[in-house]
Structure 1
Amino acid sequence: MKTTRRPSLNDMRAFEAVARLGSMRAAADALALTHGAVSRRVAKLSDDLGLELFEPAGRGLRLTTEGQALASAMGRALALINDTIDSLRDRDAKRPVVLSCERSVAMRWLIPRLSAFQDSHPEIELHLSVGGGPLDFSRDQVSLALRRLDFPVHPDWRVTPLMRESMGPVMTPALLPGFEAGDYVALASRTRPAAWDDWLGQQPGRAAPRATRYLDHHFLIVEAAAAGLGVALCPRILALDDLRSGRLAAPLGFAPDGSEYGLIEPKAAPPGAAPALAALKDWLTGAAREADA
């Protein structure tokens, strides 16, 4: 009579170990079970299947014809499972690291430095996407995000502080006299429309601009300032390279605005990506330290 009871996976595991190792005792050692526990599991499997799986052979056991067939099938099944697990692990290990970065920071600070990271870590496939504010790591397929921390942080995220935000006016050296005289055009980003009013409120006696022009993003106002179109009020990190080259000047320096940038990642990161993520975080932390120097 054909049984409809489904065999236990633990019972099948015990049977596979006995069949592969040739004895109950060896299987018990391999599975960290007692000899009796293994014997009971094999007997229960035989009963559930309605088949004799082992038969006496001297002082030991040997597989019956049915037992050999089941052991062979289980060997193939376990090999397939192990191959699949190895394949999944390899896929995770080779999965590209996706870094999401705020658009202006990516354009003005990160991209000019990324070749140094790739030269140091040619084995890491790094993809860059741009975006700001909160994100869904799973939906957006992002491994790590560089953000200005001006929004609520989800409890499932891990945040690594990176660098402080500081703001100040920048311009070409040729525009310095006009700026000091109060004869200048202010360049402002639509992402922070009140920035000039806030800054002027902290600068008693500083003349307001004769006009204010708004562009969509900070990286645009820094480029406009470098082209001589006006004075940009921008984060120091975005003007850093042009300040060092002398293309831009910052006569009043930069003042912290109380915010900071950070690296955000999900607490439950894919295990295969851990070494690559650690390398990228270490590099970004070092680059931010250099920028703050």
Structure 2
Amino acid sequence: MKRSDIPSLDDLRAFEVTARLGSVRLAADRLALTHGAVSRRITKLSEDLGFKLFEKSGRGLRLTPAGETLNLTLGRFFTELATTVESLRAANARQNALVLSCEPSVAMRWLIPRLANFQSAHPDIALHLSVGGGPVEFRRERIDLAIRRLDFALPDAWHVQRLFPEKMGPVMSAHLAPAFASGEYIALGSKTRPDAWSHWLSLHPSAPRPTEIRFYDHHFLIVEAASAGLGVALSPIVLATDDIDRERLIAPAGFDPDGSHYGLIWIGEPELSGKAHDLARWLEAECKISLGKVGMQ
């Protein structure tokens, strides 16, 4: 069959909806057409094909054998067409979205609770969040920007905007303060920085030593455990700032800089523009507001 011999898509659609709903009237309502318009399209389709599609059955209609065959094919066709269109729309939306990669602990404890504010301020920006740590596969994973602790070598082609210096300190629920002061406490550490407690204790020789150190897989877990009263967590300030502000946690020994920084990194043009620039400015402002409450500035 030549392409010119393929019936009108409008006529095929009118037939398929009528066959599926079993009524010209219902098909007309679904297609926002008049009863007569649907009937004319089905009649034209039948004439173009050269065989009947429906036959009368009492007060209604039923498909002819040829109509049944055509309907089965059209059902598969329209389903596949709808799936393809939806897939293409999703792919286009991903291409137009801004993808931000962030370390898991920072994403869960600091970034995600603030993203609603970003969406309210920038409703036109579709922000997709990806979690990951260390080096970033910008092109392979189609990442636009990444928040990382800058503790690894960066390629010369990468650009960096520093967000805040890293600071570490012991945090705990208020009822554990006496135990911390007397050395009768369990220290909570992250496996991602196994020497953090040893380093902190060396900086504070007069601080009481813990009875033991227990390690969790991630920092966000030890901060949550500290909030639940399970011990004293040695936490980056960015992960504890909200709980300190809400008085779920206290930090009696304060926070010490460890010499590293968190930064926003990207590739391509050295100056951000458009959506990426808007996100960078918002992140910078949020860091100053939220982390300034507990002495970051």
Aligned length: 201
Alignment of 1:119 with 2:124, yes or no, is: no
Aligned-residue CA RMSD (Å): 1.8
The residue aligned with 2:291 is: 292
Separation (CA, whole Å) in 2 of partners of 1:253 and 1:205 = 14
CA positional deviation for 1:287: 0.6
| Secondary structure in structure 1 of the residue aligned to 2:287 | helix
- 1:256 corresponds to which residue? 257
Q: Report the alpha carbon displacement of residue 93 of structure 1 after superposing the two structures with TM.
A: 11
SS of 1:260's partner is: strand
2:113 counterpart SS class = helix
- Return the letter of the residue paired with 1:189: S
Q: Which residue of structure 2 aligns with residue 134 of structure 1?
A: 135
Matched residue type, 1:186: A
Tell me what 1:29 maps to.
Answer: none
8 Å CA contact 2:241–2:291 kept in 1: the answer is no
Deviation (angstroms), 1:243: 0.2
Q: TM-score, normalised by structure 1?
A: 0.66
Counterpart of 1:217 in structure 2 is 218
Shift of 1:179: 0.3
- Deviation track 1:217-265 (CA, whole Å, cap 9, x = no partner) reads 0000000000000000010110000001110000011011110000000
Residue matched to 1:97:
98
1:189 alignment counterpart: 190
Listed one character per residue, the Cα deviations across residues 2-30 of structure 1 (whole Å, up to 9, x for unaligned) are xxxxxxxxxxxxxxxxxxxxxxxxxxxxx
1:282 matched residue in structure 2: 281
- 1:291 Cα deviation (Å)? 2.7
The 2-side partners of 1:155 and 1:92 are apart by 31
The 5 Å alignment of 1:1-293 reads 95-268=96-269, 274-293=273-292
Alpha-carbon distance in 1 for matches of 2:93, 2:189: 43
In structure 2, how many angstroms separate the alpha carbons of the residues matched to 1:93 and 1:170?
A: 39
TM-score (norm 2): 0.65
- Partner amino acid, structure 2, of 1:290: I
Q: Residue 207 and residue 137 in structure 1: after superposition, are their counterparts in 2 closer, same or farther (change >3 A)?
A: same
Partner Cα separation in structure 2 for residue 144 and residue 119 of structure 1: 20
Kindly state the Cα deviation for residue 267 of structure 1 after the two structures are TM-superposed: 2.2
- Matches of 1:216 and 1:267, distance apart in 2: 34
Instruction: Return 5+ residue gaps in structure 2 as ranges.
Output: 1-91, 293-297
Gaps of 5+ in 1: 1-90
**Partner SS state of residue 224, structure 2:** helix
Q: Tell me the CA shift for residue 268 of structure 1.
A: 4.2
Shift, 1:289, TM fit: 1.3
